Copies of this chain bind each other. A is one copy, B any other.
């Protein structure tokens, strides 16, 4: 256990707070280049979130919190009376950067809940952002422990998108569970959807598992059902960008297809999220806004056109999995089997 915890602490982090700026790993360039962005203001933070330099609901939340600190310092230093109003306006802008992940708004709401009528409000906000980051690290550890406890020996698992250190503040959510289960010797095979169009599986999950010297096999997203039919998969383990009060799950496009396939093959499903991803203000999946991005993300790869000229594409970034397809919802507040409103509300 000591060894596992050390591994958790040492894991890679995609953002590094530097007091007057945020260092952010540009995930668009991975795995080929490890280039860090220097973000000095909230507009740069918003751009980084909107343009996917950072992605993953928890990582977006942490990044936004630091962005709120940068904005607060700029507003405060401008010396204008009523700097708080200007700051709140900037946070409202930042909150629009991506509509689906609730952690973005959750982190900004938490920053706004701080009492700023003190001598050094910016310092207080900085402490809060650091606390959000630290709590995510601790939360990841709890999730990895709780989720991996559900997994039996000699298991075969499939995951979707990227939910590891790059998507969070520490070892990850779904991938944290997988890494912990691997370290406990419970996994015989790890498969990862490549996760088109952004290839978070191929580019990021494979890269992270490599760093942990954990073997995995990529599959194309459409192969999930055939993988389950032919390879006796035990678990489908994913993260989420938002969990509604009834347990419906918004996650990276492709999750719902895989969840349906899991149901058809009696593959157990686990959704692993920090509590900050659970949005009790959203009744069900129908109420979750689904971000639509430009079709160019599908007809090109790495700037290279892969489709026929003039090809159009329908490019929703997320999909909704009904709660009835989720066997276990793993949060740091507890594990819920067959999630539904009353069970989730009991953890509030």
Give a binary string over A299-322; 1 marks a CB under 8 Å from any B CB, 0 the rest: 101101111111111111001100
Instruction: Give the Cβ gap from A11 to chain B, nearest Cβ, in Å.
Output: 16
Q: A225-B256, A308-B203 are in contact. Are A218 and B298 (CB under 8 A)?
A: yes
Instruction: Give the Cβ gap from A191 to chain B, nearest Cβ, in Å.
Output: 7
Q: A31-B307, A197-B220, A311-B218 are in contact. Are A257 and B202 (CB under 8 A)?
A: no
Stretch at the interface among A21-29, A93-101, A124-132, A258-266: A258-266
Q: A193 an interface residue at 8 Å Cβ cutoff? A: yes
Report yes or no: B253 in contact with A260, Cβ–Cβ below 8 A.
Answer: no
Q: A210 an interface residue at 8 Å Cβ cutoff? A: yes
Q: A60 an interface residue at 8 Å Cβ cutoff? A: no
> Within 8 Å CB of A191, what residues of B?
314
The one of B30, B210, B217, B221 in contact with A196, judged by C-beta atoms closer than 8 angstroms, is B221
Report yes or no: B257 in contact with A218, Cβ–Cβ below 8 A.
Answer: no
Report yes or no: B222 in contact with A196, Cβ–Cβ below 8 A.
Answer: yes
Q: A37 an interface residue at 8 Å Cβ cutoff? A: no
CA distance A229 to B285 in the complex (A): 12
CA distance A258 to B229 in the complex (A): 14
Report yes or no: A306 in contact with B311, Cβ–Cβ below 8 A.
Answer: no
The one of B218, B309, B315 in contact with A313, judged by C-beta atoms closer than 8 angstroms, is B218
Report yes or no: B224 in contact with A257, Cβ–Cβ below 8 A.
Answer: yes
Report yes or no: B260 in contact with A261, Cβ–Cβ below 8 A.
Answer: yes
Report yes or no: B311 in contact with A206, Cβ–Cβ below 8 A.
Answer: yes
Q: A36 an interface residue at 8 Å Cβ cutoff? A: no
The one of B225, B295, B304 in contact with A218, judged by C-beta atoms closer than 8 angstroms, is B295
> Within 8 Å CB of A311, what residues of B?
202, 206-207, 210, 216, 218
Q: A222-B222, A225-B257, A225-B260 are in contact. Are A215 and B312 (CB under 8 A)?
A: yes
Within 8 A of B (CB), among A193-250: 193-197, 199, 202-204, 206-207, 210, 215-227, 229-230
Report yes or no: B307 in contact with A302, Cβ–Cβ below 8 A.
Answer: no
Q: A191-B314, A199-B307, A260-B225 are in contact. Are A299 and B254 (CB under 8 A)?
A: no
> Within 8 Å CB of A202, what residues of B?
298-299, 306-308, 311
Report yes or no: A223 in contact with B31, Cβ–Cβ below 8 A.
Answer: no
Report yes or no: A257 in contact with B253, Cβ–Cβ below 8 A.
Answer: no
> Within 8 Å CB of A221, what residues of B?
196, 220-222, 254, 257
> Within 8 Å CB of A254, what residues of B?
220-223
Instruction: Give the Cβ gap from A82 to chain B, nearest Cβ, in Å.
Output: 43
Give a binary string over A243-287; 1 marks a CB under 8 Å from any B CB, 0 the rest: 000000000011111101100100000000000000000000000
> Within 8 Å CB of A223, what residues of B?
253-254, 257, 314, 316, 319
Report yes or no: B319 in contact with A229, Cβ–Cβ below 8 A.
Answer: yes
CA distance A30 to B217 in the complex (A): 28
Q: A226-B319, A298-B202, A316-B226 are in contact. Are A307 and B257 (CB under 8 A)?
A: no
| A interface residues with partner B (beta carbon < 8 Å) | 30-32, 160, 191, 193-197, 199, 202-204, 206-207, 210, 215-227, 229-230, 253-258, 260-261, 264, 290, 295, 298-299, 301-302, 304-316, 319-320
Give me 13 A-to-B residue pairs in the complex whose CB atoms sit less than 8 angstroms apart, sorted by A's number: A196-B221, A202-B299, A202-B306, A204-B308, A217-B295, A218-B299, A222-B253, A222-B257, A223-B253, A224-B257, A230-B290, A230-B316, A257-B261
